[in-house]
Amino acid sequence: MAEKLTVSKHDDRLTGYRELLPQLQGLTAGESNQVANLANVAAALRQTFGFFWVGFYLVEGNELILGPFQGDIACTRIQKGKGVCGTAWAESRTQLVADVDAFPGHIACSSASRSEIVVPILKNRVVVAVLDIDSDRLDDFSEDDVEGVEAICQWLGSSIF
C-alpha cells in the first residue's frame, strides 16, 4: 500500500490526473472493501488538487446516498434528476458547472461551493454512483478535469464496483 502520493506540480491538471491514476490503482490493489477504496480515492483527489469537497454518492433504489467523502458535511440523499449529482445520474453524463448558482435546481449542500464537476460511474452501462467534486472558486473546472475525472471513474466502474 502506498503511504504517499507523488504528483508533480504542473500548469494543467490533466497531467496530474494522469500521474495520479496509476497511484490510485496501486493504493487500492489488494483491498476488496469498496468503502475503504472510495475513501482513499476521495482523499487522494482532495490532497492532490486541493479541491473544496470530493465525494461519492452511491445509487440505492431511486436515490443517491452519500458515500465516502472529504470536506464539509454534505447532503445525505439526492433524488434522481435533482441538482447536479441527480442530473449526472439521470442523464448518465458528466456535468461541468462553472457557477452552481446558475444551475437550475442546484442543491446547495454548502454555500461555499461555487463550481462543480460530477461524473457518473458506470458498471455494465448502468450508473452505480457519481463522483462529485466542488470548488470554492467560480469556473474552476475545465475539459482537462472532465477528461481526468472521467478516466478515474471509468477505472472505478471496472475495478472497484
Block means of pLDDT (10 residues each) for the chain, 161 residues, are: 74 92 95 97 96 98 97 95 96 97 81 93 97 97 98 98 95
Closest CA to 130 of 103, 99, 91, 73: 91
Q: From residue 81, how far is each of 27, 47, 62, 90, 91 by CA, in Å? A: 33, 30, 10, 5, 8
7 is a domain residue: no
Write down the pLDDT at residue 106: 78
Closest CA to 109 of 67, 139, 71, 142: 71
65 is a domain residue: yes
Burial class (CB in 10 A: 0-12, 13-18, 19+), 119: buried
**Contact of 89 with 127, CB cutoff 8 Å:** yes
- What are the cell numbers at 125? 452501462
3 is a domain residue: no
Number of structural domains found in the chain = 1
71 is a domain residue: yes
Closest CA to 88 of 64, 113, 115: 64
Closest CA to 17 of 119, 95, 100: 119
19 is a domain residue: yes
- 89: enclosing H helix or E strand: helix 83-91
4 is a domain residue: no
Write down the pLDDT at residue 118: 98
Write down the pLDDT at residue 89: 98
| Residue length of the chain | 161
- What are the cell numbers at 34? 469498496
Write down the pLDDT at residue 3: 67
Write down the pLDDT at residue 2: 56
Write down the pLDDT at residue 41: 98
Q: What is the CATH number of the domain that holds 48?
A: 3.30.450.40
Domain range for 119 is 13-159
